[in-house]
Amino acid sequence: MKLWSYQGAVLGACTLAFFATMAARLAISPVVPAIGDAFGVSNSAVGLALTGMWMAYAASQFPSGLLADRYGERRIILVAVGGTALASALVAMAPTYPVFLVGAVVLGGVAGLHFSVATSLLTRTIPNTGSAIGLHTAGAPVAGVLVPLAAGSIGVWLDWRWAVALGAAIALPSALLFGMVVRPIAPVRPDESPWSRLRLGPLLELLGRPPIALTAGLSVVGAFVWQATASFLPAFLIEYQGYGEAGAGALFSAYFVVQGLTQPLLGTLSDRVGRYPAATAAVGVGVVGYTGLVAG
């Protein structure tokens, strides 16, 4: 694959779109205390909105593939990124907490449409699928490095609403660029209803197998810890450790830098010593890190 080609342009547009959908969600975390103060609610209430956002994000990923088979990948990704821009604007301009809560859930739902569909589009467009998906996935940690620092600083200089609006400012041009660059591609199943393919029986039988159930359970717990950290680490640093919003945003960005550097190393360790020993080592390091945050 040549980067200066249509395939490279599709990869770049998908990566930027993934960056935008992640940026919109991460822009909220550094200003959680300010949002609570503005609406007169607790951090738990703001956390409820973020929980709803991440739950909607998870729930929309599976049907997103079915919708792409019916309507085409390009159309679904445009809905994901364009919807992210609109939902971010709704969250930023929310006059009351209930509107903020609804906007956060909508933001998670539309953002969750992107990843699986973009993976399918890259598979159908680019022959070097593994390299393309690896580069596409890099959009998320890059957003994690850049956006919290920017959002925390904007929240200090201007207001939390401008910090959250950063997501819309990134997503809107990303959607326009994607629409201009990516050509329409024929759907895989244009005449078949997505909902007719939903069958819970085989899925439950698969998840009931002990090896798969164990792996899925560990993944769920790990994802829970990551989501909690992504939502509340800046708020914890501000209220418990006494950092300012900009400083907490900088440390939150550093968290993503370390995560981006250690993920490939953990994969190499897994190849050498096995998956479960590597996972055990990762969890053990995490326990030490969280203990240090609380006791340090």
Nearest to 57 by CA among 122, 126, 144, 115: 115
What is the model's pLDDT at position 104? 95
What is the model's pLDDT at position 136? 77
Spatial separation of the C-alpha atoms in residues 275 and 287, rounded to whole Å: 18
Structural domains in the chain?
6-295 (1.20.1250.20)
Q: What is the DSSP string of the chain?
A: --SSSHHHHHHHHHHHHHHHHHHHHHTTGGGHHHHHHHHT--HHHHHHHHHHHHHHHHHHHHHHHHHHHHH-HHHHHHHHHHHHHHHHHHHHT-SSHHHHHHHHHHHHHHHTTHHHHHHHHHHHH-S-HHHHHHHHHTHHHHHHHHHHHHHHHHHHHT-HHHHHHHHHHHHHHHHHHHHHHSPP---SSTTS-GGGG--HHHHHHHHTSHHHHHHHHHHHHHHHHHHHHHHHHHHHHHHTS---HHHHHHHHHHHHHHHHHHHHHHHHHHHHH-HHHHHHHHHHHHHHHHHHHHH-
Phi, psi of 190 (to 5 degrees): -70, -20
What is the model's pLDDT at position 86? 96
Please check whether residue 83 is in contact with residue 131, taking contact to mean a CB–CB distance below 8 angstroms: no
In this structure, the dihedral spanned by the alpha carbons of residues 182, 183, 185 and 190, taken in order and rounded to 10 degrees, is 100
Please check whether residue 213 is in contact with residue 207, taking contact to mean a CB–CB distance below 8 angstroms: yes
Q: Angle, to 10 degrees, between the axis of helix 97-111 and the axis of helix 43-71? A: 40
What is the model's pLDDT at position 199? 72
What is the model's pLDDT at position 170? 94
What is the model's pLDDT at position 193? 67
pTM: 0.79
Print pLDDT tens along the chain (296 aa).
555 678 888 888 998 999 999 999 989 988 888 898 999 998 889 888 988 998 898 888 878 878 888 888 889 999 999 999 999 999 999 999 999 999 999 999 999 899 888 888 888 887 766 667 767 777 777 887 888 888 888 988 888 999 999 999 999 999 999 999 988 887 777 666 666 666 777 778 888 888 888 888 888 888 788 878 877 888 888 888 888 877 888 888 888 888 777 776 777 787 788 878 888 898 899 999 999 988 87
What is the model's pLDDT at position 161? 94
What is the model's pLDDT at position 4? 66
In residues, how long is the chain? 296
What is the model's pLDDT at position 191? 66
Instruction: Quick: pLDDT tens for 104-150.
Output: 999 999 998 998 888 888 888 877 666 677 677 777 778 878 888 88
Largest Cα–Cα distance in the chain? Answer: 59
What is the model's pLDDT at position 29? 83
